[in-house]
Amino acid sequence: MISDALRAVILGVVEGVTEFLPVSSTGHLLLAGRFFGLGEDNFWKTFDVLIQLGAILAIVALYFQKLWKIALGMFSNEDDRRFVIGVLVAFLPAVVIGLIAGKYIKEVLFNPWIVCFSLIVGGAILLWVDQIDHKPHEHDATKFPLLTYLWIGIAQCLAMIPGVSRSGASIVAAMLLGADKRAAAEFSFFLAIPTMVGAFAYDFYKSRAELTTDHLGLVAIGFVVSFITAVIVVKTFLDYVTRHGFQLFAWWRVIVGTLGLVALALGF
């Protein structure tokens, strides 16, 4: 048996590596808990959500200058204000669906079979989209049309099914709507900030009475590890997808999903 601290480190690495890649961090965390005994009780399910804030803060740190400029300019600069409105428009569908169906989604859809099937199907879609000649006409994630932001937000809601991938759904939608690969990936980063901060606040509020001092210590470990790992991943991810596309991540999804189904069929 591994210690709780080591579990927190491993899950923090999994979260930091997968949060911004189109491979589904939730799906990987769920499979890790199932097959490697990295935590399957209620605390560890809450832990998986809480440490996502560490990965989100990595985006804030890496894009601090741009985000600070937008924050200062949104009351006086039309472009900055329009981008903030765009992010809020994209964020709104997740709020509505989460409030209406969040409990059902967690109780019914959070199982490894659905994760594995979602990984495989999402991988096939990512392969298809990556090979289309898009002739992209949107090259700046801060200047998409407002309707594009809305459609990306609606697509992101599919990621409430574990294994779909929040970043994958938003990237695919953005590319189909005319964004180039880099701009699509960057907007998925920006949209992650309100989406995951909202999920963190909601889960923390619901679980606050159950979290002990030991629990908070484990969350802190996972938080720091996910932050450091996400910084490294994000800095390399954009350059990689600009040059090579998403095939590597698509095949990773298919392989992990297939191996997961085999393991489940064998009774693991």
Please tell me which residue, 96 or 211, carries the higher pLDDT value: 96
Please tell me which residue, 210 or 141, carries the higher pLDDT value: 141
pLDDT in tens, 93-114: 988 988 887 777 777 778 899 9
Cα distance between residue 254 and residue 181, in whole Å: 21
pLDDT in tens, 157-168: 998 898 999 999
Output the pLDDT for position 214. 75
Output the pLDDT for position 44. 73
Segment 134-158 shows an average pLDDT of 93
- The residue extents of the domains of the chain are 4-265
- CA torsion, points 202, 208, 210, 216, in degrees to nearest 10? 100
Over 60: is that where the pLDDT of 186 sits? yes
pLDDT in tens, 215-251: 888 889 999 999 999 999 988 888 888 888 899 999 9
CA distances from 144 to 64, 90, 137, 141, 181 (A): 20, 11, 10, 6, 13
pTM, entire model: 0.86
Q: Which residues pair with 138 in a beta bridge?
A: 179
The answer to whether 242 and 181 are in contact (CB under 8 A) is yes
Of 139-143, 146-150, 202-206, 247-251, the least confident: 202-206
50-72: b (≥16 Cβ within 10 Å) or e: bbbbbbbbbbeebbeeeeeebee
Three-state SS at 70: helix
Over 60: is that where the pLDDT of 58 sits? yes
Output the 3-class SS for 213-251. HHHHHHHHHHHHHHHHHHHHHHHHHHHHHHHHCCHHHHH
pLDDT in tens, 64-78: 999 999 999 888 899
Over 60: is that where the pLDDT of 39 sits? no
135 confidence band (pLDDT: 50, 70, 90): confident
Cα distance between residue 150 and residue 129, in whole Å: 20
CA distances from 116 to 21, 143, 242 (A): 17, 35, 27
